[in-house]
Structure 1
Amino acid sequence: MQRYFLKNHQFHDQMAVITGDDAHHISRVMRMGLSDQVIICNEDKVCYLSTIEQMDGQEIKVKLDSKVASETELPIDVTIAQGLPKGDKFEWVIQKATECGAFAFIPLIMDRSVVKLDEKKSLKRLERWNKIAKEAAEQSHRQMVPEVFPLHSLKQLIAKASEYDVCLFAYEEIAKQGRLSQLKQSLTEISPGEKMLVIIGPEGGISESEERLLIESGFKPCALGARILRTETAPIYVMSAISYALEL
């Protein structure tokens, strides 16, 4: 069944009003009509089985029939901070990591980042990235849409580190030293409701100066298995490991 995410102000008593692209998708793409049902979710992660009662151009009114009881969110909030990769790789990361349960994404400009975005391009990309996150959340029946934050520098990200309970960064040199347990240890120590931040470097990885800065700032380096992963594969590995450790 189709799922849509609305802002809280779109809910009124036992009704909700769907507008914009979502209304267009319901009426023009899915060809739904009166009495058809959809699932809609608010910003508080509450989802409702709903029935279409009125359709008027680009505005659709639905009646909230009952709450959907399924729990599809991870027990912890995981933010992926990704060194901006080339091409459309970050779009792929957003889509797949959203399906795996990521809570938020922060694109990073790092020492080995090749991509350079000016303010205009950055804002356009950000709009597209958030749209991809929304569509992936709908497809995977999430209860919330992960937020993609504006482009950050590493120093800007470090300034926000106190907002998280666990801060890690993927560093392949740890694997070469045979130190593979940090991610596993962190997942055994973290509690439901806490927040984890994981930094993934761009193509070429995290530089030595960035490693020193992160360690000095309280971040812990972790290996993602014994093999070297591509930048777009690493976040999916992280999310899969977290899901296996905390959900299964």
Structure 2
Amino acid sequence: MQRYFVDPSQMKEQYVVITGDDVNHIARVMRSRAGDEIICCNGQGRDVRGAIEEIGADTVRVRILEEDLPSRELPVQVTIAQGLPKGDKMELVIQKGTELGAFSFCAFTSLRTVVKLDDKKEKKRRERWQKIAKEAAEQSHRSKVPNIANMLTWRELLASVTQFHYALFAYEKEETSTLRRALSEVPAGSRILLVIGPEGGFDEKEVVEAEAAGFISVSLGRRILRAETAPLYALSCVSYEFEQA
């Protein structure tokens, strides 16, 4: 069943009013008609099943049929902090990371980051990334659309550690602490920050700074993963630990 995210103000007690690009998607792409059923989510945990009552030029009115649909969210909130990669790799991370259950994403710059964006380009990228997250959340039947946060410097990322219960960073030279071991100590409901470096990895100085700030260094296994593969591997491990184990 097709799923659409709406602003909380558009979801009333007995009906939902859909506006924007989704109106065109419902009317022309899906060719939906009155009586067809869809799922609407307000992004704050309220998911409803409804029947289309009316399709107008700018709005679609949906009558609510069922409340309290089962949640498909991870039992923990995982924020992926990704060293800004080259090309469109961040789009892949956000699309697949959303499907795997990430709560939010944040790109950051560090010593080995190659890509540099000015404010205008960063804003444009984030708008596109947010759109990708929304589409992926709809496709994977998420209850929430991951937030795409403003890009951070390395110093700003280190300072953000206090906002989370657990802060982990993937480091290829870590020999004792594994992601599995770290996750085994995390209770459900926790906020986790998971930091993945850029293509060149972390500078030794950054490793020292991260550990001093309170981050836990973890290994993602014996193989060296690409920058865009590492967060997806890590999210898969989180899903297994909290949903399959």
TM-score (norm 1): 0.96
Mapped pair 1:114 → 2:114: yes
**Alignment check: 8 A CA contact 2:178 2:221 kept:** no
1:71-122 per-position Cα deviation (integer Å, ceiling 9, x unaligned) = 2111000000000000000000000011000000000011111111011100
Mapped pair 1:237 → 2:237: no
In structure 2, what is the equivalent of residue 63 of structure 1? 63
In structure 2, what is the equivalent of residue 103 of structure 1? 103
1:172-225 per-position Cα deviation (integer Å, ceiling 9, x unaligned) = 011xxx32x432222111111110001000101011111111011010111101
**Alignment check: 8 A CA contact 1:166 1:186 kept:** no
Distance in 2 separating the partners of 1:163 and 1:170: 19
Distance in 2 separating the partners of 1:68 and 1:232: 35
Distance in 1 separating the partners of 2:208 and 2:104: 25
In structure 2, what is the equivalent of residue 183 of structure 1? 179
Residue of 223, 227, 235 corresponding to 1:227: 223
In structure 1, what is the equivalent of residue 34 of structure 2? 34
Distance in 2 separating the partners of 1:104 and 1:133: 9
Q: How does 1:67-146 map to 2 (within 5 A)?
A: 67=67, 69-146=69-146
Aligned residue identity for 1:105: F
Residue of 177, 193, 199 corresponding to 1:197: 193
Distance in 2 separating the partners of 1:220 and 1:107: 19
Aligned residue identity for 2:231: P
**Alignment check: 8 A CA contact 2:196 2:230 kept:** yes
In structure 2, what is the equivalent of residue 9 of structure 1? 9
1:155-183 per-position Cα deviation (integer Å, ceiling 9, x unaligned) = 11222211100001011011xxx32x432
Higher alpha-carbon deviation: 35-44 or 117-126: 35-44
Gapped runs of 5+ residues in structure 2?
A: none
Please report how far the alpha carbon of residue 68 of structure 1 lies from its aligned counterpart in structure 2 after TM superposition.
5.1
In structure 2, what is the equivalent of residue 154 of structure 1? 154
SS in structure 1 opposite 2:184? Answer: helix
Distance in 1 separating the partners of 2:63 and 2:110: 48
Gapped runs of 5+ residues in structure 1?
A: none
Deviating 4+ runs (over 4 angstroms): none
SS in structure 1 opposite 2:94? Answer: helix
Residue of 202, 209, 226 corresponding to 1:206: 202
Q: Sequence identity of aligned pairs in percent?
A: 48
Aligned residue identity for 1:246: F
